[in-house]
Every structure is written in C-alpha cells, then in structure tokens.
Amino acid sequence: MSKEVGGFINNRPSWDELFIAIAVLGSSRGTCDRLRTSCVLVKNNRIVGSGYNGAVSGLKNCDEAGHLIINNHCVRTLHGEDNAIANAVSSLDGATAYIIATPCLGCVKKMLQYGIRRIVYVGAYYNGPGSEFIAKICKGKRVKIEQWTNDPKKIVLIFQKIFTRLSGSGGIFKDLNLAIVPFDIRESAKMEKKCKKAN
C-alpha cells in the first residue's frame, strides 16, 4: 500500500528511473571531467553490462594525466558504452542502454551492431561531427532512441523518490530520521532566477 510521505506517493521507482539512477551513480566513477558518464545495459529488467568512461585499464586517465584532445574530442578515454559492452555478461540482442548524456555516433553504431534495441539517455552533450546521423541510423535499424530528460532536476526527483521510499518501513534509512526536503522544480527555477538577478 502506498502512502504519501514528504509530499510524494511512497512508491517504487519505475524500471527506467531505477536504471537511470544506477547510470548516474556509475558516472561518478568516470575519469574524464569533460563529461563523467556511464552506461547501463539491461535485458528483461536485468543488468547485463555496465561501464563508465575511463582510460584503458592500467593507463593514466584524464584526472591523472590531463586530456588528449584530437578534433575537439578527448581520446584518452573509452566511452561508458564501450566499457559496458566489454563488461557484458550475456548477449545484448534486444537490450536497452541507459546513458548519461547524448551518445556519440561511434557508440550508437556499436550498440546497434550488438543488437541493442532501445537507447535512453539523459542530458545532452555535443559529440562532434556525425551526430545528425544518429536518429537516421536508429530509424533504419528500428531502434528506439529517446531523451528521458534534459533537466538535471528531474534526476534529483528520482533520487528523492528513492530516498523517500527507503526512509519508510523496511527501508535502509528508516531509523536515521532523515528529513527529505521535497524538491519542487518550479520553486527551484524561481530561486535560481532570484540568485542570478542578485549577482
């Protein structure tokens, strides 16, 4: 039974919300500060692969050695999608990819080649020449590509939903007496405008 807690109905996150949250957490391991990103590969609501952007194992990463820029793109790192595919534990045919930011053309082609049928991304990131072909090749392969949100505040709402649920009965935070402050996107936008005017 769901009940209202802190202004939210205390329900479970949707599958998309859960896997987006996992991708966001994974992106905290990313080692290129141009974009810390991650990819979670899911099949039948089970994670079959995940990875974040970072240098080839054993080599220095951007955080340690700096960026290696060629054609306005850091080439020191493997993309999160590359690492997720390399770490996959089963066939990816029919899988969904959850990605932090817009995937690049090269990663989209790899995902299509491995049979990924749905690509869900949050945020936006210009990935250089070829980006305009992404929708075209996805359509040609009947792969659904969708931007879940471009508003980072909506990601905060996912985590707020998760923490609210886990602060209730049976949750890991139930005895911590956490105060979950409701996050209102409209109120947050008003506060941002006031702060910008003040500066």
Residues 57 and 108 in one domain: yes
The H or E element containing residue 147 is: strand 144-149
Whether residue 180 is contained in a domain is answered as yes
Same domain, 45 and 143: yes
Contact partners, residue 61, CB within 8 Å, separation at least 6: 31, 32, 54, 55, 76, 77
Structural domain including 77 reads 9-153
Max avg pLDDT among 72-76, 82-86, 177-181 = 82-86
What pLDDT score does 6 carry?
45
Question: Is residue 24 a contact partner of residue 152, using CB atoms and an 8 Å limit?
Answer: no
Going by pLDDT thresholds of 50, 70 and 90, the confidence category of residue 4 is: very low
In a domain, 2, yes or no: no
pLDDT on residue 190: 65
Q: Which of 53, 47, 54 is nearest to 21 (CA)?
A: 47
- Residues 133, 44: one domain? yes
Q: Are residues 100 and 188 in the same domain?
A: no
Is the pLDDT at 191 greater than 90? The verdict is: no
Is residue 162, in this structure, part of any structural domain at all?
yes
- 80 in any annotated domain: yes
User: Domain check: are 16 and 38 in the same one?
Assistant: yes
The residues carrying an active-site annotation are: 81
Q: What percent of the chain has pLDDT over 90?
A: 58
Q: Indicate if 26 and 71 belong to the same structural domain.
A: yes
- In a domain, residue 22? The reply is yes
Q: Are residues 140 and 163 both part of a single domain? A: no
Confidence (pTM):
0.83
Burial 180-189 (b: 16+ CB within 10 A, else e): beebeeeeee
Look at residue 1 in the predicted model and tell me its pLDDT.
42
- The span from the CA of 69 to the CA of 49, in Å, is 28
> Which range has the worst mean pLDDT, 8-17, 44-53, 173-182?
173-182
Q: What is the mean pLDDT of residues 10-26?
A: 92
Residues 146 and 160 placed together within one structural domain of the fold = no
Region 146-167: what's the mean pLDDT?
89
Condensed to tens digits (0 to 9), the pLDDT of residues 96-145 reads: 999 999 999 999 999 999 999 999 999 888 776 777 899 999 999 999 99
> For residue 183, what pLDDT band results from cuts at 50, 70 and 90?
low
Instruction: Give dist(CA 82, CA 111) in Å, integer.
Output: 9
**Are 29 and 74 within one domain?**
yes
Same domain for 149 and 160, yes or no, is: no
User: Do 140 and 95 fall within a single domain?
Assistant: yes
